[in-house]
Structure 1
Amino acid sequence: MRTPSQSRNSNRQQQKLNPNSVEPFNLVEPIPVVTMDDTRTMAQLLEARTVGNEDAIVVPEITAGNFELKHGLLTLVQNKQFFGHDKEDPHAHIRYFNKITSTMKFPNVPSTSVKLMLFPFSLEGAARIWLEKEPPRSILTWDDLVSKFINKFFPPSKTTNLRNEIMRFQQRFDETFYEAWDRFNDLLRACPHHGFLELHQLDTFYNALNSNDQDSLNSAAGGNFLDKMPRDCLRIIESKSKVHNSRNKPVVVKVSLSSSTLGISPDIAELKDMVKALLLEKKNRT
């Protein structure tokens, strides 16, 4: 009877005698020995491979055990996404996003952490591409995110152009008082960080008006319109705007008779305004 060692020796001798014979394949792979240096190298390779895929936004760790983002909140955020078009207002998007996210409170979870988690879902198109191209882990706080978002889609050059447009504002030849006031406010809303004080805004608008509308404001103020307090000036402007915008029955503002600066009777000026309002009403009906 052959021993196991004798059988192995016999197989080897037969393989030498027959060069075409194939040694049986060993299905058991040897287990490599991993050293500390190898482990360190693997960790470095893994880090290098994953760093490029890290998000730009760093969301602080949330320790609350029962925290869960509701699907309804995510849907609200995605219902009004920002695409990065020229006519889109990033300030309005931030206001809407803040309003939506403030509707839900999570115990022991900072609201800024929720905003950082949800904000990427409010972007699409060019805006989403912008965020994806931001350096990994470069946005650490909500203020960082808002600042970078505004600077990208509302750069300083756009602010400068809008500020210049506000300062150069002029009432158009065929533009009513109400239309001019509405257009002026549109410019202010388009550049919410214009930096103009309320008094400067009123001064700019008043000096942009034609002489008849300036006289009407002075008459309603009982003197120089700009000598009034800003809140009184705004009240007068709103009253005059309602007269021009009325489509049913024009409302005439009662004014002082001693305030005409160019020798035009205030009653005549208001009568002209009333006629303009009637003509505008007739034009709208036709």
Structure 2
Amino acid sequence: MADNRTMAQMLQAPIEGYEDAIVVPPINANNFKLKQTLINLVQGNQFTGKQDPHNHLRFFNKVTSTFRHPEVLNTSIKLLLFPFSLEGEARTWLDKEPPRSILTWDDLVSKFINQFFPPSKTTYLRNEITTFYQKPKETFNEAWERFKGLLCQCPHHGFSELHQLDTFYNSLNTNDQDALDSAAGGNFLDKNLVMV
């Protein structure tokens, strides 16, 4: 089939193919409108690709949970607002996703986390947690805060609370292990773990 367009017509930019990656389900609610204050809140803490993506999602969920509409699913609101929460490298990532490739909030979270927290980072942090040791001259409190920080950096680490306590206890220097044993009224590891 011959193309009868002129050279000028062939060189024109296409007018289609500009659909977003995120597909927001149709909203049939009367008088539904995103409030500018909510958009401003989301834009006040934009993710650039350099921060912790888990913290960004926690903040984003907290902000979006403040807005409810009886006829609109919260996941639809999140899908509408999420692009406003990105800038820089993160916005470029979303713009490069294939059109109509993100159909649900879970799709979006999965793609976002895998982009900005790849499996290699999970492996690295799980190894850091497993091989954690108290540094020389590091106090008990400093070691505990650093250990908790590693756990927070990788909330999907998969280690049970018992494994975490065992790892931390065994990473301590002898003096801090003795102090913890004394505070526990005997060997810390021999105590029953009471979940509250």
TM-score by length of 1: 0.62
Q: Does residue 147 of structure 1 match 2:147?
A: no
Of the three residues 43, 57, 64, the one matched with 2:22 is 57
Of the three residues 123, 129, 147, the one matched with 1:166 is 129
Give the corresponding residue for 1:256: none
Give the corresponding residue for 1:107: 70
Q: 1:189-213: CA deviations, max 9, x gaps? A: 1111100000000000000001111
Give the corresponding residue for 2:4: none
Write the mapping of 1:130-209 to structure 2, written as runs, cut at 5 A. 130-209=93-172
State whether residues 84 and 153 of structure 1, in contact with CA within 8 Å, keep that contact through their aligned partners in structure 2: yes
Q: Could you tell me how far apart the structure 2 residues matched to 1:172 and 1:96 are? A: 32
Q: Could you tell me how far apart the structure 2 residues matched to 1:54 and 1:227 are? A: 60
Aligned to 2:48, the other structure's residue is in SS state coil
Q: 1:172-193: CA deviations, max 9, x gaps? A: 1111111111111111111111
Give the corresponding residue for 2:42: 77
| Residue 58 (structure 1) shift | 0.3
Aligned to 1:63, the other structure's residue is in SS state coil
Of the three residues 68, 86, 90, the one matched with 2:33 is 68
Q: Could you tell me how far apart the structure 2 residues matched to 1:91 and 1:137 are? A: 24
Give the corresponding residue for 1:255: none
Q: Could you tell me how far apart the structure 2 residues matched to 1:176 and 1:192 are? A: 24
Alignment-mate amino acid for residue 196 of structure 1: F
Aligned to 1:115, the other structure's residue is in SS state helix
Alignment-mate amino acid for residue 36 of structure 2: H
Alignment-mate amino acid for residue 78 of structure 1: Q
| Residue 231 (structure 1) shift | 4.2
Aligned to 1:138, the other structure's residue is in SS state coil
Alignment-mate amino acid for residue 53 of structure 1: Y
Task: Note the residue ranges of structure 2 that are not aligned, 5 or more in a row.
Answer: 1-13
Give the corresponding residue for 1:253: none
Q: Could you tell me how far apart the structure 1 residues matched to 2:150 and 2:193 are? A: 19
More relative contact order, 1 or 2 (CA 8 Å, 6+ apart): 2
Aligned to 1:99, the other structure's residue is in SS state helix
Aligned to 1:230, the other structure's residue is in SS state coil
RMSD over aligned CA atoms reads 1.4
Give the corresponding residue for 1:116: 79
Q: 1:227-283: CA deviations, max 9, x gaps? A: 223348x9xxxxxxxxxxxxxxxxxxxxxxxxxxxxxxxxxxxxxxxxxxxxxxxxx
Of the three residues 53, 56, 69, the one matched with 1:93 is 56
Q: Could you tell me how far apart the structure 1 residues matched to 2:190 and 2:82 are? A: 46
Alignment-mate amino acid for residue 53 of structure 2: P
Query: Runs in 1 of length 4+ with deviation above 6 angstroms?
Result: none
Give the corresponding residue for 2:183: 220
Quick check: which has more Rg, 1 or 2? Answer: 1
Task: Note the residue ranges of structure 1 that are not aligned, 5 or more in a row.
Answer: 1-47, 235-286
Q: Could you tell me how far apart the structure 1 residues matched to 2:184 and 2:64 are? A: 44
Aligned to 1:202, the other structure's residue is in SS state helix
More helix by share: 1
